[in-house]
Structure 1
Amino acid sequence: MTDPKDRPRRPAAFRLDDAEIVTGGADTASRGDGRGTRVILESDDDAAVPAAPLPRKKRFRWGRLFWGTLSALVAMAIGLSLDALIRDLFARNDWLGWAGLALVGLLTVSALAILGRELAGIFRLERIDQLRVDAAAAVATDDAKSARTVVEGLVALYRDRPETARGRADVAVHLGEIIDGRDLLVLAESDLLLPLDRTARRLVADAAKKVSVVTAVSPRAVIDLLFVAVAVMGLIRKLADLYGGRPGLIGFIGLMRHVIAHLAVTGGMAATDSLLHDVVGHGIAARLSSRLGEGVINGLLTARVGLAAIDVCRPMPFINAERPGVQDVMRGVFPEAERKT
């Protein structure tokens, strides 16, 4: 006869808060006195989400204090010099004094406009950085409320961009229908950022190809260095404008520092070295002249800087979209080589 203990148990309804219910992992099946109902909870290790990134610590910066006080002293010195100049002009002739005063007024207005533009650019870059940090935290915790705040910030960031009108409309339709935070961010990434990502990849590929060609035919290393520097700065500027940063001069300098720091942290030459090994492995390097090889190396480095700039300028980390790599960007630079291999 079949042992009653080996018979499959008939389906039954019960409450988890019942006193006779024993809950736990798979190891609880071998424990207990056999009375009551044992419920074995499945492990959810595969669905575990990473911890939210730690916020950056804010600390006092002596360098910022130094440059701030120096700028204030220079501004005071300029003000005193202008005051002395206006007094001298009035002493010579009234109309010279009034003309100088009008020029000083125009100078002040233009300086305030430039300062306002610089501050606005800095605030935009900080806003994008904060959106990226909040998006990473929302993905890690799958927090719907935080994700909705990030999506609303993205929509507000691209409100004046006509090319994002359709994406903003699609996000607005589904904003109240999706309850999972990660899914909501994936939707926003697909509708708002993927078109910008395609443009950014094309910009990086074009810059890398231009650098490769120009540095391969230029006669002087100094010309190569200057052209690469100008091309890299122009590429970072274009990527920042594409993703909504639009920094001024001071903001652009800070953005350059951020890109270089990101490049150093992520290992700037890692992806480039792997691509170089692929190129050498296919025997392409043996058919390249030394100048053409230098142009290719410069193009690879330009592409790597461009990809780091995408990570810094993008207001959201890559969630479901595939992050472009150096090989993806540089495919167009070696079309003939790719067909041969």
Structure 2
Amino acid sequence: MSASDDRLDTESAAQPAPKPRRQTRIENLEVEEPAVHERASTRVESLAEEPGELPRSITTGESLPDKISFSELRLPFFRLRMWKPALLAGLALAFGAVFWELRQFFYWAADMHWSLGLLAGVVIGALVLTMASAVWEYFRAGKPLRKLQKTQQLAAEVRDSRATDAVAPLNQQLQELFAGKPQGALLARVQEETPDYYDNSELLRHLELNFFEALDQEALRRIVRHATTTGALVGLSPFTTLDVLVALRQSMRMIDDVAQIYGVRPSMVVRWRLFKKILALVAYSGASEYAVSELWPELVGDSMLSTVSARLGQGMGASLFMARIGLAAVHSCRPIPFSEKQRPRLGALTKRIASSLKERLLGREQNRWPDAGLSQSAAEKVSARRSDARGPNQDD
């Protein structure tokens, strides 16, 4: 019985397991099948091979396609195209009206009497000659500035040149610029001491060291003086309108002084043209903030800031504005432009302006303390002498 059971177990184990029965599902054909969502493909990148530079759109500041950036937004400037013809037409109409009135006046005087006609003709002729001479002087006054610009352009072109083609023209232009002026004697002596083998760059270096260095120091001294005066007047003045008038007047005087140092004769035309050119070079942005943050602790102590901060801030802002105008005037009037290393900076003048302004605005308060110190030391010396004089008498 056991043997038969073992045989049955062996046969059952040898037979394969029955396969599962397939299931059939009947679906309705009228019902739409649901959409099958496919899985998005995934790209695997190696982290070891990262690019050494950022994408160009990030490094150059360009906006990505789905971003909007207004950093480079610029709108076209609205230009008035007809204002110049309109201005010229208005001037022509005004001159025509004046000419017609003068003609009518002459004919009326001549009809009255021949002597009145002669007198009217003399008056009209004098008026016309005066206007013509004014126009001639206007164009003639700009001639020194044109010569100055020509010399500046030539010096800038041959600064790094090792040739000798510009030595003679440059010396000739400088002689014409300083002819008949106090600086001409020093220039002639410096040019006589110049060796014949100097090239263009060596000539410029020789002139800057022996001639223009003295002029630059005098120009900076005058700039500091005008800036300090303007700062003191603005700091002591309680009226804003008066501050503007004082700053404008001092700036015009400073421009004249700086222009005279470099051989430019002062005149209304030269002053106006230089003023327009200098204002184009002036960058006043940040001057007052720089004065407040950097110069106030150097000007006064922390204990005095609460009492003189407003007055000193206004004066220091005006002084820095005047210093910027003065430096721009130096750059505009100097026949040989500065090199990048020799260019005077505003920081070189701030300490001088600060000390001068401190003496003017706070001179009385600052002078009390040294007097008190001297009196105390003198009293100590007197007491020491008295003790020395009494010592031997007491010993006796």
Check the 8 A contact 1:121/1:247 in 2, yes or no.
no
| Residues 150-299 of structure 1 aligned to structure 2 (within 5 Å) | 150-174=170-194, 177-246=196-265, 248-263=267-282, 267-269=283-285, 277-282=293-298, 284=300, 286=302, 287=304, 288-299=308-319
Whole-Å Cα distance in 2 between the matches of residues 289 and 274 of structure 1? Answer: 14
Contiguous gaps of at least 5 residues in structure 2: 1-80, 360-365, 367-396
- RMSD over aligned Cα atoms: 3.2
- Could you give the per-residue CA deviations for residues 79-120 of structure 1, whole angstroms, max 9, x where no partner exists? 332222222222233333222222222223332332222112
Deviations 1:114-151 (A, max 9, x none): 22221122222122122112111110334421243223
Percent identity reads: 22
Structure 1 residue 228: Cα displacement: 0.8
In the alignment, the residues of structure 2 paired with residue 221 and residue 244 of structure 1 have an alpha-carbon distance, to the nearest angstrom, of 35
- Describe the SS at the equivalent of 1:140: coil
| In 2: Cα distance, 1:65 partner to 1:165 partner | 49
Q: Secondary structure at the match of 1:145?
A: coil
Q: Is the 8 A contact 1:124 1:247 kept in 2?
A: no
Q: Is the 8 A contact 1:121 1:245 kept in 2?
A: no
Is the 2:226–2:322 contact (alpha carbons within 8 Å) kept by the matching residues of 1?
yes
Of 149-158 and 160-169, more deviation after overlay is shown by: 160-169
* Native 8 Å contact 1:118 1:248 kept in 2: no
Query: What do residues 264-310 of structure 1 show as CA deviations (whole Å, max 9, x unaligned)?
Result: xxx44467765654314547374333122201111111111111111
1:178/1:79 CA distance change after superposition, 3 Å = farther
Name the CA distance, whole Å, in 2 between partners of 1:242 and 1:74. 41
Selected match of 1:318 from 335, 338, 348? 338
Which residue is equivalent to 2:62? none
Distance in 2, matches of 1:273 and 1:143, equals: 47
State how far apart, in whole Å, the 1-side matches of 2:286 and 2:197 are: 38
Cα distance, 1:336–1:252 mapped onto 2, change above 3 Å = closer
Q: Which residue of 2 aligns with 1:46?
A: none
Map of 1:39 onto structure 2: none
Q: Supply the distance in 1 between the matched residues of 2:205 and 2:291 (Cα, whole angstroms).
A: 30
**Distance in 2 between residues matched to 1:168 and 1:229, nearest whole Å:** 36
Compare 110-119 and 326-335 and name the one that shifted more.
Answer: 326-335
Q: Quick one: distance in 2 between partners of 1:295 and 1:151?
A: 43
Query: Which residue number in structure 2 is paired with residue 12 of structure 1?
Result: none
C-alpha displacement of 1:243 = 2.2
SS at match of 1:125: helix
- Distance across 1 between alignment mates of 2:190 and 2:250: 36
Q: Structure 1 residues 189, 75: closer, same or farther in 2, change over 3 A?
A: farther
**3-state SS, counterpart of residue 105 of structure 2:** helix
Which stretch of structure 1 is more off in the superposition, 121-130 or 234-243?
Answer: 234-243
Q: Distance in 2 between matches of 1:152 and 1:271?
A: 40
Higher relative contact order (CA 8 A, sep 6+): 1
Matching residue's letter, 2:108: D
Q: Give TM-score scaled by structure 2 length.
A: 0.61
- Please report how far the alpha carbon of residue 247 of structure 1 lies from its aligned counterpart in structure 2 after TM superposition: 5.8
Q: Take 1:226 and 1:195, find their aligned partners in 2: how far apart are those partners?
A: 32
- Where 2:179 maps in the other structure, the secondary structure is coil
Normalised to the residue count of structure 1, the TM-score between the two structures is 0.69
**Bigger CA drift: 193-202 or 223-232?**
193-202
**Which position in structure 2 is the counterpart of 1:9?**
none
User: Which residues of structure 1 form unaligned runs of 5+?
Assistant: 1-60
**1:311–1:336: structure 2 CA closer, same or farther, 3 Å change rule?**
closer
